[in-house]
Amino acid sequence: MNFGVVAEINSSLDSAMGSGSSNDNQNNLSEWDKLLLLVGSNKDRSAFKKLYEHFTPRLKSFLLRIGSDVSAAEEICQETMIMVWRRAETYNPESAGASTWIFTIARNKRIDKLRKDNRPLPDLNDPSFYQTPIDRGDDLVQRFQEEKKIQKALKTLPPEQAKLILSAYYEESSHRKIADESNLPLGTVKSRIRLAINRLRNQLEELER
């Protein structure tokens, strides 16, 4: 791990958030705090859209400033806002302001990307795992529903195959790491993951019927 890069990210994060971090100790909630609470409590799409439109360009600017290229910055922005939608119910305004909370997610996504630069990537042509660009709150709702279907389909797989899918695509472990942890040859892990993906795809097709 390059701790110099992490230190640079932390420093840039502090300057990028500006007055947002000062909200942490204020008694009155900011507009962004209230919107984030609405997303967390009611999955309010209108509130999420306002958060998305406000924070996405600021997150992208922050990521470009700390060295991400345009493509990576856009990807991390999307992943960050997906995480905001999913985890908004865990947000506590007494612990952090909305800006601090959201920028911290972006920082962690950036650090994760640095760690995974050399890991094998999943097959981007696989329709079960392809991520389309997300521009609206409605898109996130649809993706959330699709992921619920994937979770349901996973339960129909044999436990060992479900574990491989979870490790490779949800925990984002490399095939090499999975092989080492399971004491299996790398080729065996890859072939079993392919088999698990095919079975998962078939189960998803059954759920769509």
* Chain segment 150-191, per-residue pLDDT in tens: 777 778 888 888 888 777 766 667 888 888 888 888 888 888
Distance, CA of 149 to CA of 80 (rounded, Å):
22
Same-domain check for residues 78 and 164: no
Distance, CA of 95 to CA of 91 (rounded, Å):
8
Same-domain check for residues 27 and 90: yes
pLDDT (tens digit, 9 = 90+) per residue, 109-148?
888 887 776 544 444 454 444 444 444 445 545 555 666 6
Q: Which residue's structure tokens are 């007494």? A: 94
Same-domain check for residues 90 and 151: no
Q: Which of 42-46, 55-59, 103-107, 116-120 has the lowest mean pLDDT?
A: 116-120
Same-domain check for residues 203 and 150: yes
Distance, CA of 46 to CA of 26 (rounded, Å):
25
**pLDDT > 60? residue 102:** yes
**pLDDT > 90? residue 18:** no
User: Considering 66, 83, 115, which residue would you say is the last residue of a domain?
Assistant: 115
Q: What is the CA radius of gyration of the chain?
A: 19
Query: Residue 106 has which token pair?
Result: 């972006």
| 17, 65 Cβ separation under 8 angstroms | no
Identify residue 177 by its one-letter amino acid code: K
CA proximity to 162, closest of 120, 196, 127: 196
DSSP letter for 127, please: T
Same-domain check for residues 156 and 66: no
Domain of 166: which CATH number? 1.10.10.10
Buried b (16+ CB within 10 A) or exposed e, 74-100: bbbbbbbbbebbeebeebebeebbbbb
The number of domains in the chain is 2
Kindly state whether residue 127 falls inside one of the protein's structural domains.
no
Percent of the chain with pLDDT over 90: 25
Kindly state whether residue 111 falls inside one of the protein's structural domains.
yes
Kindly state whether residue 143 falls inside one of the protein's structural domains.
yes
Distance, CA of 30 to CA of 15 (rounded, Å):
19
Domain of 75: which CATH number? 1.10.1740.10
Kindly state whether residue 120 falls inside one of the protein's structural domains.
no
Kindly state whether residue 161 falls inside one of the protein's structural domains.
yes
Kindly state whether residue 125 falls inside one of the protein's structural domains.
no
Instruction: Report the predicted TM-score, pTM, of the whole model to 2 decimal places.
Output: 0.46
- Please name the residues in contact with 187: beta carbons below 8 A apart, sequence gap of 6 or more: none
If phi over 0 gives left and psi between -120 and 50 gives alpha, with beta otherwise, what is residue 68? beta
Same-domain check for residues 191 and 91: no
**pLDDT > 60? residue 202:** yes
Distance, CA of 135 to CA of 58 (rounded, Å):
15
Of 131 and 193, the structure prediction assigns the larger pLDDT to: 193
Half-sphere exposure of 60 (CA within 13 A, CB side): 10
Kindly state whether residue 149 falls inside one of the protein's structural domains.
yes
**Averaged pLDDT score across all residues of the chain:** 75
Same-domain check for residues 9 and 96: yes
- For residue 193, the model assigns a pLDDT of 85
Same-domain check for residues 145 and 201: yes
Same-domain check for residues 69 and 7: yes
Q: Domain range holding 184?
A: 137-208
